Structure 1
Amino acid sequence: MKKGIFGAQLIALASLLGPCAQAADIKIGLAAEPTAMDPHFHNLTPNNQVVMHIFEPLIIANSKFEWKPGLAESFKAINPTTWEFKLRRNVKFHDGSAFDANDVLFTMCRVPTVVNSPSPFTLYTKAIKEMEAPDPYTIIIKTAEPYPLLPNELSSVAILSDTLIEGEKVTFASAGCKISHAMPTTADFNSGKAAIGTGPFKFKSFTKGDRIEFVKNDAYWGKKPAWDQVIMRPIAAPGSRVAALLSGDVDFIERLPTQDSARVKADPNYRIADVIAARSIFLVMDQFRDVPPGVTGTGNKNPFKDVRVRRAISLAIDRDAIVKRVMGGAAAAANQLLDKSFEGGDTKMAPLPYKPEEAKKLLAEAGYPNGFAVTLASPNDRYVNDAQVAQAVAQYLSRVGIKVTVNAMTSSSFFANRAKYDFGFYLAGWGAQTGEMSSSLRALVATQNKDRGWGVSNFGKYSDPELDKLIDEAMVTVDTTKRAALLAQASKRSIDEMAAVPLHSEKAVWAMKKSLSYEARADEFTSATNITPSSK
């Protein structure tokens, strides 16, 4: 009798609690699969947005690129070359170990050691010359010269647990740290063995080609997420991603295809969130080899070394038409490598014109009156309508005599081949994770310099000492207004020389069930912590 009464009480209690008693799960459809769960392996949005559910940086960028305390509860510049970070106390890693300064030292030592990184995170750590921990909750970082963007850049570096090296005490050295234990490998993170962070979610599984699963970190130091479990499914095909949302297989998708936008907006069961993103799509040309891969009909010359050819390529492309017809309006025609609305953009720069006849004249002046042939490589599942944009570019270039064959491939193949310099001409994108122009300039068109972490995605090997000088001066200018002016100058020079040919800035678009809402992020990150239940 008592047993029956107790059972009835449980049923009644469950009834009273209602939905709150149910496990709150969220299923997310991703447009691209991360190449690894290693937070220092590949500086790519699909990777970064996923691993940051598990790991956290010292400084956190919110949806508007405002810098907030993360694992560092405060930070300040003691002088132009010295920064003090006060670390958050009472933070635990997912394995229960305590977070302190040694974890930060270990992390910064590990970043430059990652094997076979297609796009290393040294871009964000190379400025650090000295680092020490005067106590367990203070980090002092010194740079060789003033470096005002250090806090911004550290927002991209996920902090690891020193339990991965059995708690060995670390002394940082910019030339290479001496650590007796073996560094964790990318495979260790993919298996979950090393996926130990402080973030709001814990690693559950990573099954390539299928799903990534997280569970809520009940011991999280910050605001608890709304979800007990997060299931992320890579669904590269845009139509399939929308179908998964409409069928209920997933609750939320990123990169709503432009062709489906009107239909989803009109359906009262769904809602959309969007924002102009800190990402530009551009063309890169090989400017270092005598004969680039895929180029023919030039008499064994490299046409891309001639600025007239680079300018002709730009003039041949109707960006407004691509935005309207290919992107469905979900983009803004670009005139530089980051939209002018972000810090360091040249707000006075005119739109890049569409002048095909002038393009033909420049090609003739450069010695190519009949044009030439080239292969344009592009991913087909990484950026919004990337393969279609590449095809449109090919059609425009063909009208001025440049015969283009598009070689579109999966993003995993594209980035692996690009890292081997297999392309002479390619389409790609860059998201400025610091929310300002120096990120794009240093990564894409600054002269490659491994020691400084510059040119990490400059696979055309463009090099211009005058441009480097402007970027360099900006990077040591503490005054925000003066730094922005220098970056604008550098941006203009990169366009004058067509170091890379910008096409458009993407608009990030998410679609979801009406019962959800999303705080759209300018960094394009899909973050389960930004997804919340909605009654509106």
Structure 2
Amino acid sequence: MKRRGIARTTAMAMAAAMILTACGGGGGGNTDQSANAPTGGSAQTATDNGGSGEITKTDIVVGMGADVVTLDPAGQQDTTSGVLIHHVYSTLMDIDEEGNLVPDLAESYEMKSDTEYTFKLREDACFSDGTPVTAKDVKFTFDRAKDMPKTKSNTSKIAEVIADDDYHVTFKLTQPYAAFKTIATQTNLSIVSEAAVTAAGDAYGDVDNVLGSGEFTVTEWVPNDHYILTKNEKYWGEEPIATSITVRVIPEGSARTIALEAGEVDLVWNVDPTDCANVEANSDVTLLSQPSSSIEYLGMNTTKEKFSDERVRQAINYALDKQTFVDTIVEGRGTVANSYINSTIPGWSEEEEAYPYDPEKAKELLAEAGYPNGFECSLYVNGDVRTRSAQIVQAQLAEVGITVDISTYEWGAFLDSLNAGDHEMFILGWSNTSFDADGSTYQLFYSENHGATGNRAFLTDEKVDELIIAAQKESDDTKRMGLYKELQDRLHEISPWCPLYYKYDNVGVRADLKGFKLHKGAQHYLGNCHYEK
């Protein structure tokens, strides 16, 4: 579990009767996973490698491939910023390492009807300045989130939030929403202090005014270089072992691995697949791997003229050999994505078939759409790995007459461009940390969620909208999974994306680092990392 250990397990057992799971980022149990384990080497699955010796070092240095975009939860929708927010703030509920829904600030909840939930808050929780976390802060957080582009989809079904007293808060929904309890786990709905945000105004999110209730506080942030988290001495739960966590931004994958091997960093959050074998071969370091809850995909802006025709989008799906991406980009550490939902998420359909590699079929469809000689278009990416993927896309689409111009951006600028709809095509990943199929569909494909909210294909499709809302309202698990099967069929037909692959999470650690454990939704907790004699 991320925090609070045994106490949290007990709280979960006490609340179990009130936790109703429809299935469920990232997750909430799992369906059978289609991905095979990586072959060869000494890769390990998630293990808690804590020990019982004398602790000798608690200042931890981590290598990350990109910088955070924001320190304000309501401005976060990227996984990189989510790492910081997960350590600095707390949410009402959480997802543990195994993908289960567990208490966090809320020690329990009651589902009074299919449109009303009441959460009971812990009475000992406080922010890092010592002020208590109350129902008013929860109400403020969710009311504020309803007006923020990156959180409005998560709060769109909330009609009213009522602070019943200091430690009870009631949510009244506009409709039945089966995934609502997992919404309360999202890092961009981490609870903020009403007093701190009100005092800071638009400046909230600067290092000197961030106020969370998590295990750490942010004490320094030098954009595109590093940030430092320091133990929150007023944290209300189980005390973390790490005293400080310094996260260094190292964009180039091999440079991160070299830093790990040289002992300059204790952990690399995201080891590039091309470097995994080197880590496995070095006895000073260890590679931890597991199937991720994410999907890597080529997205198409359906509002742009060339990509408004589904035959063009289908053609691109036929023109790309997805196995090539698995073999070369992740070096076999993943599987071809057959659907728009990751194979670890309940609701994923194994019956869906990925588009076969068929360049001649692609040419036929392009001709039918009025492009017998192909066309020119742009492709936006960020980072080394996705640049390599873009080069494969460029080469394979050239075979069917499509000329692709690649533009590579820094992470923040990349997201800004996608949110503005400047792009024609883009390569991105989506991690479902909620382990509910709603987290793989609503933000990404619902017509009211264009741009920053998540629908960067700018898709508008009446049938897709209808199925998404029907699945949200359905409380019968079997029927709900059937609706997600229909939704995957429809998305496959209209092809706003070309799903590429389901990858593995690969984390590199120093071989003698203790206290780290992989999280199924890649929300790895760093607070217990340390060294011993």
Query: What code does the residue aligned with 2:461 have?
Result: D
Counterpart of 2:453?
456
Structure 1 stretches of 5 or more lacking a match? Answer: 1-16, 166-180, 293-301
Q: Residue 160 in 1 paired to residue 160 in 2?
A: no
1:33 & 1:92 partners in 2: Cα distance?
A: 28
1:163 & 1:103 partners in 2: Cα distance?
A: 8
Match of 2:478 among 457, 478, 481: 481
Q: Is the 8 A contact 2:310 2:494 kept in 1?
A: yes
Relative to 1, partners in 2 of residues 1:487 and 1:265: Cα closer, same or farther, differing over 3 Å?
Answer: same
Match of 2:79 among 37, 45, 48: 45
Counterpart of 1:427?
427
Query: What code does the residue aligned with 1:129 have?
Result: A
Q: Deviations over 1:507-535 (max 9, x none)?
A: 11100001125322232234313646589
Query: What code does the residue aligned with 2:356 have?
Result: P
1:125 & 1:445 partners in 2: Cα distance?
A: 16
Query: What code does the residue aligned with 2:359 have?
Result: P
Q: Give the structure-2-normalised TM-score.
A: 0.86
**Partner of 1:163: helix, strand, or coil?**
helix
1:427 & 1:18 partners in 2: Cα distance?
A: 45
Counterpart of 2:398?
398
Q: Deviations over 1:448-483 (max 9, x none)?
A: 258xxx982223321111111111100011122321
2:291 & 2:92 partners in 1: Cα distance?
A: 26
1:26 & 1:89 partners in 2: Cα distance?
A: 31
Q: Residue 207 in 1 paired to residue 204 in 2?
A: no
Q: Is the 8 A contact 1:287 1:460 kept in 2?
A: yes
**Partner of 2:230: helix, strand, or coil?**
strand
Counterpart of 1:188?
204
Query: What code does the residue aligned with 1:436 have?
Result: D
1:304 & 1:219 partners in 2: Cα distance?
A: 53
Counterpart of 2:266?
251
2:421 & 2:449 partners in 1: Cα distance?
A: 16
Counterpart of 2:416?
416
Q: Deviations over 1:413-447 (max 9, x none)?
A: 21122222211222222112322322222122221
**Partner of 1:206: helix, strand, or coil?**
strand
**Partner of 1:189: helix, strand, or coil?**
coil
The Cα shift of 1:183 comes to 6.2
Query: What code does the residue aligned with 1:500 have?
Result: W
Relative to 1, partners in 2 of residues 1:229 and 1:182: Cα closer, same or farther, differing over 3 Å?
Answer: closer
Q: Is the 8 A contact 1:39 1:158 kept in 2?
A: yes
Q: Is the 8 A contact 2:128 2:233 kept in 1?
A: no
Q: Is the 8 A contact 1:275 1:521 kept in 2?
A: no
* 1:340-351 matched pairs, under 5 angstroms: 340-351=343-354
Match of 1:60 among 91, 94, 100: 94
Q: Residue 310 in 1 paired to residue 342 in 2?
A: no
Q: Is the 8 A contact 2:63 2:248 kept in 1?
A: yes
Counterpart of 1:139?
169
Counterpart of 2:25?
none
Q: Residue 278 in 1 paired to residue 278 in 2?
A: no
2:452 & 2:226 partners in 1: Cα distance?
A: 33
Counterpart of 1:36?
70
1:45 & 1:287 partners in 2: Cα distance?
A: 25
Q: Is the 8 A contact 1:323 1:331 kept in 2?
A: yes
The Cα shift of 1:19 comes to 4.8
Counterpart of 1:447?
447
**Partner of 2:87: helix, strand, or coil?**
coil
Larger Rg: 1
Q: Is the 8 A contact 1:445 1:455 kept in 2?
A: no
Structure 2 stretches of 5 or more lacking a match? Answer: 1-51
Relative to 1, partners in 2 of residues 1:237 and 1:336: Cα closer, same or farther, differing over 3 Å?
Answer: same
Relative to 1, partners in 2 of residues 1:71 and 1:18: Cα closer, same or farther, differing over 3 Å?
Answer: closer
Q: Is the 8 A contact 1:372 1:403 kept in 2?
A: yes
1:197 & 1:449 partners in 2: Cα distance?
A: 28
Query: What code does the residue aligned with 2:425 have?
Result: F
Query: What code does the residue aligned with 2:282 have?
Result: D
Q: Deviations over 1:350-381 (max 9, x none)?
A: 23311111111111222211111111111125
Match of 1:216 among 212, 219, 231: 231
Greater relative contact order structure (CA < 8 Å, 6+ sep): 2
**Partner of 1:241: helix, strand, or coil?**
helix
1:449 & 1:230 partners in 2: Cα distance?
A: 35
Counterpart of 2:13?
none
The Cα shift of 1:44 comes to 0.7
Relative to 1, partners in 2 of residues 1:241 and 1:79: Cα closer, same or farther, differing over 3 Å?
Answer: same
Give the fraction of aligned pairs with identical amino acids, expressed as a percent: 27
Counterpart of 2:117?
83
The total of aligned residue pairs comes to 479
Q: Is the 8 A contact 2:135 2:169 kept in 1?
A: yes
2:224 & 2:426 partners in 1: Cα distance?
A: 25
Match of 2:277 among 262, 267, 274: 262
Query: What code does the residue aligned with 2:192 have?
Result: L
Larger displacement relative to structure 2 (103-112 or 79-88): 103-112
**Partner of 1:516: helix, strand, or coil?**
coil
Counterpart of 1:6?
none
* 1:499-514 matched pairs, under 5 angstroms: 499-514=496-511
Q: Is the 8 A contact 1:75 1:84 kept in 2?
A: yes
Query: What code does the residue aligned with 2:279 have?
Result: V
Counterpart of 1:175?
none
Q: Is the 8 A contact 1:202 1:214 kept in 2?
A: yes
Q: Residue 492 in 1 paired to residue 496 in 2?
A: no
Q: CA RMSD in A?
A: 2.1
The Cα shift of 1:110 comes to 2.0
Counterpart of 2:522?
524
1:365 & 1:269 partners in 2: Cα distance?
A: 57
Query: What code does the residue aligned with 2:519 have?
Result: R
1:307 & 1:416 partners in 2: Cα distance?
A: 26
The Cα shift of 1:257 comes to 1.6
Query: What code does the residue aligned with 2:201 have?
Result: P
Query: What code does the residue aligned with 2:436 have?
Result: E
Query: What code does the residue aligned with 1:316 have?
Result: A
2:155 & 2:276 partners in 1: Cα distance?
A: 40
Q: Is the 8 A contact 1:445 1:500 kept in 2?
A: no
Query: What code does the residue aligned with 2:66 have?
Result: A
**Partner of 1:448: helix, strand, or coil?**
helix
The Cα shift of 1:146 comes to 0.7
The Cα shift of 1:60 comes to 0.7
Q: Deviations over 1:293-347 (max 9, x none)?
A: xxxxxxxxx2212221111100111111110112212222112122233111112
